[in-house]
Structure 1
Amino acid sequence: MDNFVEILNALAWPATVIWLGYMFRAELRLLLGRLTRVKHGSTEFGFGEGLKEAEVLAQKTPIDHVPPKRDIDHEEILLRIAEVSPRAAVVEAWTLIENAAVKKGLVKGTVMPKVFIKDILEHLQQSGKFSPQSIDLILKLKQMRNHATHMPDFAITQDEAERYLRLAAKSAEVIMLS
């Protein structure tokens, strides 16, 4: 009987926590949706901090070219998407970089062409025209896009999405100029 009481005492707190989590699951989801920083083990990531790092890299990436006028202003469309869903805007902004790579012929496969970030980076390095910062910028943007895509409880603000969009557009220009 004493062993049974000890087991009940040991399970009381975990059972209470699980029960409270179940009772307040809707509120917990809302709370988790507000996360702006994620930490797992020794890895910690905040979307805003990643943007600051990417913006520093972008300032060191010179672009002497004014982009030609486009029929459809993709950036304006992405800004509108950011008003409704900042996460969707970040994911969609990455396509600016992929589309630039496709236009430059940096694809593999004939039936279903695919863009690999490794090919983009190798192309920029081999051209010799671009600084290591431009390559680091594209890597940073990819990492941030991955966090936005694969971390469902990770929150991104509209401002952060708009800043990401400008950096993705600048990176696409870098690829087009190579």
Structure 2
Amino acid sequence: MTFLEFLASLVSSLAWPATIFLAIFFLRKPLVELIPLLKKLKYKEFEAEFRDALEATPVPPTIATDDTLSADSPGDLLKSRNYYLQLAEVSPRSAIMEAWLELESASSDAYTRIVKPGMKVFMNPRDTAQYLYGQSLITEDEYKSFQSLARLRNKAAHETDLSDMNQKVVGEYVDFCLTLASKIRALQI
């Protein structure tokens, strides 16, 4: 075997491992961000299961299950839980987006009542939640729930594969949004 044959053989045997190493090296940050979204990882004898993002969401103290809620008083919801569950049967993505709008509207209304009574003010929902938390109007768990719900809403809005969003997951998301929205609407400011 000549030196050139040896070198060709060496390059040939190291090409794939080097390519994989470089791909992982350059994509390490996006790959790390995907880890919380994994449900299950299995390689030969190694197996690991991860919790869904919704399971990691802190649960608000009560779940809104009253299907007769209306917008007659500040503590009430704009639409009933049943509305969102029926929508979820047709389009889970739409149910998530609509439930998020309920929470966004509640937080925006609360912010308006505190800061600019009588004026409709639009503020980023994340900033609104941060403001409510800073004013001790919502608890730390509720603030963390708000953030988790926002992330899941963004996933529903921007990702094409929602195969992990089954009826149960969407129902829990709706319950979390409506519970938190109801609590925020009922704030005495």
TM-score of the two chains, using structure 1 as the length reference = 0.62
Amino acid at match of 2:167: Q
1:120 aligns with 2:132: no
Which structure carries more helix by proportion? 1
What's the counterpart of residue 109 of structure 2?
A: 103
Structure 1 residue aligned with 2:98: 92
Deviation at 1:171, TM superposition (A): 1.4
User: In the alignment, what sits opposite 1:167?
Assistant: 176
In the alignment, which residue of structure 2 is the partner of 1:70? Answer: 70
* C-alpha distance 112-128 of structure 1, shift in aligned 2 (>3 A): closer
Q: Distance in 2 between matches of 1:130 and 1:145?
A: 20
State the SS of the aligned residue for 2:161. coil
- Offset at residue 113 of structure 1 (A): 4.8
* Aligned-partner residue type, residue 136 of structure 2: G
Question: 1:118–1:86: structure 2 CA closer, same or farther, 3 Å change rule?
Answer: closer
Inter-partner Cα distance in structure 2 for 1:166 and 1:112: 26
Whichever residue aligns with residue 102 of structure 2, its letter is L
**Alignment partner of 1:41 out of 25, 31, 35:** 31
Structure 1: stretches of 5+ with no match in the other structure: 1-39
Q: Is the 8 A contact 1:97 1:172 kept in 2?
A: yes
Higher relative contact order (CA 8 A, sep 6+): 1
Question: Which structure 2 segments of 5+ residues have no match?
Answer: 1-29, 40-50, 72-77
Cα separation, partners in 2 of 1:119 and 1:141, compared to 1, 3 Å:
same
TM-score (norm 2): 0.58
| Identity rate, percent | 20
- Give the number of aligned pairs: 134
Q: Secondary structure at the match of 1:114?
A: coil
